[in-house]
Chain A
Amino acid sequence: MMDFLPNADELRIQGLARSYARGPLAERAAAHDAGAFPTASVLGLAGFGLMGIKSPVALGGLGGTNVAYVLAIREVAQVCASTAVTMAVTNMVGDMLLQFGTAAQQERWLRPLLTGAFTAGAFALTEPSAGSDAASLGTKAVLSDDGNTYALTGTKMWITSGDVAGVILVMAKTDADAGARGISAFLVDPASAGFSVGRHEQKMGLKGSSTVSLTFDGVKVPVEDRLGPEGIGFRIAMTALDGGRCGIGAQALGIAQASLDAVLASMAARKRDDRALGTDQAAAFRIADMATRMEAAWLMVLRASALKDAGQRMSREAAMAKVFATEAAGFVTKTAMGLASAADLRTDSPIGRAYRDARVARIYEGTSEVQRIVIARELVRAS
């Protein structure tokens, strides 16, 4: 039977996220947008298990589904996109530990991630000259002669929470000549010698989320901190992004919802004042289009997530959901700027903030162009 209703447990998890988001988080969202990293908000979410929605309850997670995950991200993003992205990346790192980690690795890294003992997790794939072409990354991991430790050397860029994370999942080349198959994944303790945090990016939006460059100068990583066997690092990264893309789609739609809600509220206020602009249908048709695109996008995000819950391959659906949802959010937040009153064009109004926050969703975790490349490749592969 086909139904589009989340189950009771999924609704419960959504409810947890919603009440935290609309309660304590809402009070701090403006401060986060002004640049304050959401430490307290992240800890608050961890307290409800929301930093590891799919991780087992026994480890401090919620044992939820991918559908529950996107529901929760959307709730948080609707109130604070900076907190939502911090939460999304932490969840993604946790998922990889869950999927590829040993029991010992999960105990050592996943548990503190879920309980809030670690403020966040970070995912370090991108480098200054390896963005869309992530497989061309240049960070090297060289195994010592005794086979006990790797030495990591290289520079990562744009790393969300890279300065506050308790664990950083780093992709590095263990075989420089094997292309994507030469990449392995490592769990790096930021307290390691040779690790340093570089510049903090000053961004248009997501100002509460930290985005930093990281330098690894011969950082020693014990072999037991390698995630999965050598050579599957790129596969781990792509698996992470398949799930991550649903999360970013949900994040973008949360931001879009905040923008649409603000437009509706200001239109309602104008109507009460009986001072409508005389172009009511222009506004009416636009909000109808905004909501319709958001609805279609949301169904795509839910479906990709449901496929993942059913254990099916969903790279194509995830890429479609991501590009459609983030472009819908671009349309919605831009249209809202056109419908906004003068006061709503303030940089820190809900509409102004959404316009700035939504823009990055078409860039990170694979640009819109990269999503289209993935979609076309998957279609050709299937034909």
Chain B
Amino acid sequence: MNFELDETQEMIRDSVRSFVAGRVSQPAMKWNEGHGDAREALCELAGLGLLGVLVSEKAGGAGLDVLTLAISLAELARGDAGLAAMVAHHNAVALGHLLAAGYDNKPQLQRFAQGDALLCRAASEGSDHLDGATITTTATKQADGAWSLKGHKRLVPLGNLASHSIVTAMTEAGPIALLVDLDAAGVTRTLSDTLVGLRTCDLADLTFEAVAVPEANFLGDAAAVASRVAALARITTAAIALGVTRAALAAGVTYSLERKQFGKPIARFQPIQWQTADSATELEAAELLTWRAAWQLSTSGATAHSVEKAAIFALESAQKVADRALQMHGGYGYTVDFPVERHFRDAATLRILADGPDVQRVAIAKGLATGANGVR
């Protein structure tokens, strides 16, 4: 048993870390206030090879595994969770779907993998769904073999910046996925409402009005790849949650060492120490769960719901740790001048990136009931 990162993983982690220090931490404050966007940072991340992490080198990607992607995302999220959310979406959810579906248009795949174009995946619909369980978007086969796509998708990450979107739609034969050019006639993109957190993340509502999609862009049965895509969404969301947790913990520790009340640094008061200790312990547990699940996804793919366990724990830890860190900042924590205010909002918004913890709890319990988890 070995808990160490390999050389490549360390190298990538360090390069993302220095990228965050130099190019993300400062502008993140502005991006989250709605001043400017992170487009340039995304281009620079493409240069670092971070937009095609899971795509094979032959196909123009970095050819790395899910664990390495998760490590990179956790680092990136320390600087800005919304930026990390876009990178996770492109790599794991959108390209992850494309790869799982066996997409083999090499030039197009290469454009996405090298970040020359961004790809998104539009699944969720309706105001009361986060998980895209019900699909009302429809695709109808035309006489010429092309598909006609009609429907509305909400809160699609990268929906404004991407050139293409994978779109899930219902047909008479069940749910399918199509690769849709977002500049095609009949596509309307609008900026989604501003959410409580993740404000750097580009989100769009997409409307498809009889959009013609060529037959070659048919990606097959959406249900067949659903569990792989869901696992990738969950694990990358867990990784982003880790980044938020780590950033919040660090912010709390730093602040509590600087701030003095009653003649000493507040870090010397026991309630602050307990909070810090609990936060550090939860971070460690969340990290181990997440790395292990990511490693399993990279190797066997059989996970005994370790992905769900990691995602639930990491998401909930992020909320707790951000909450404690904010508390340590006193009044300052309530102002936008300190990043901890953003961590607190981001932590509660992360669930839009994958289905929420309660849905995942049910999945774990069902797994236990069938014995698939190996407990019985």
Contacts and interface: CB of A to CB of B under 8 A. Distances in A.
A, B in one complex: yes
Interface of A: 126, 129, 131-133, 136, 157-158, 201-205, 266, 269-270, 273, 275, 277-279, 282-283, 330, 334, 337-338, 341-343, 345-348, 352, 355-356, 359-360, 362-364, 367-369, 372
Interface stretch (B19-27, B78-86, B96-104, B124-132): B124-132
A348 B193 CA distance: 9
A342 B349 CA distance: 10
A367 B330 contact: yes
Contacts of B196: 337, 345-347, 352, 355-356
Contacts of A330: 323
Contacts of A131: 261, 330-331
B193 A346 contact: yes
Interface residues of B, number: 46
Given A275-B128, A341-B129, A363 B352 contact: no
B334 interface: yes
Contacts of A343: 127-128, 154, 193
Interface string B263-288: 10000010110000000000000000
B344 interface: yes
Contact of B358 (A273, A279, A341): A279
Contacts of B327: 362-363, 367-369
Contacts of B262: 132-133, 136
A282 B128 contact: no
11 contacts: A126-B331, A131-B330, A203-B334, A275-B126, A277-B129, A282-B358, A337-B348, A338-B351, A342-B352, A346-B194, A363-B327
Contacts of A204: 334-336, 341, 344-345
A346 B126 CA distance: 14
Nearest to B134: A275
Contact of B261 (A132, A359, A363, A364): A132
A204 B199 CA distance: 13
Given A342-B128, A346-B193, A363 B359 contact: no
B319 interface: yes
A352 B194 CA distance: 10
B357 interface: yes
Contacts of A158: 331
B333 interface: yes
Contact of B331 (A346, A348, A363, A369): A363
A266 B331 CA distance: 32
Highest count of chain B CB atoms <10 Å: which of A282, A330, A337: A337
B195 A279 contact: no
Contacts of B362: 278-279, 282
Given A279-B362, A334-B348, A363-B327, A342 B124 contact: yes
B30 interface: no
A205 B326 CA distance: 14
Given A132-B262, A133-B261, A363-B327, A347 B359 contact: no
Instruction: List 9 A-B pairs, minimum CB-CB distance, nearest first.
Output: A341-B128, A343-B127, A282-B358, A337-B348, A133-B261, A346-B193, A352-B196, A202-B336, A133-B262
A360 B333 CA distance: 9
A347 B341 CA distance: 14
Nearest to A337: B348
B356 interface: yes
Nearest to A201: B335
Contacts of A205: 334
A356 B195 CA distance: 12
B336 A203 contact: yes
A132 B271 CA distance: 14
Contacts of B195: 345-347, 352
Given A343-B154, A352-B196, 12 more contacts: A133-B261, A266-B128, A330-B323, A342-B154, A346-B193, A347-B196, A352-B195, A360-B331, A362-B327, A369-B269, A369-B271, A369-B272
A374 to B, nearest CB: 13
Contacts of B263: 133
Interface in B335-376: 335-337, 341, 344-345, 348-349, 351-352, 356-359, 361-362
Nearest to A205: B334
A363 B330 contact: yes
Highest count of chain B CB atoms <10 Å: which of A157, A355, A372: A355
Contacts of A283: 358
A322 B72 CA distance: 42
A282 B348 CA distance: 17
Contacts of B330: 131-132, 363, 367
Contacts of A364: 331
B155 A342 contact: yes
Nearest to A367: B330
Nearest to B357: A338
A364 B155 CA distance: 35
Contact of B359 (A277, A337, A360): A277
A363 B334 contact: yes
A239 B333 CA distance: 26
B334 A347 contact: no
A132 B264 CA distance: 12
Contact of B130 (A278, A341, A360): A341
B369 to A, nearest CB: 15
Contact of B194 (A129, A347, A355, A359): A347
B141 interface: no
Nearest to A369: B271
B39 interface: no
Highest count of chain B CB atoms <10 Å: which of A136, A342, A372: A342
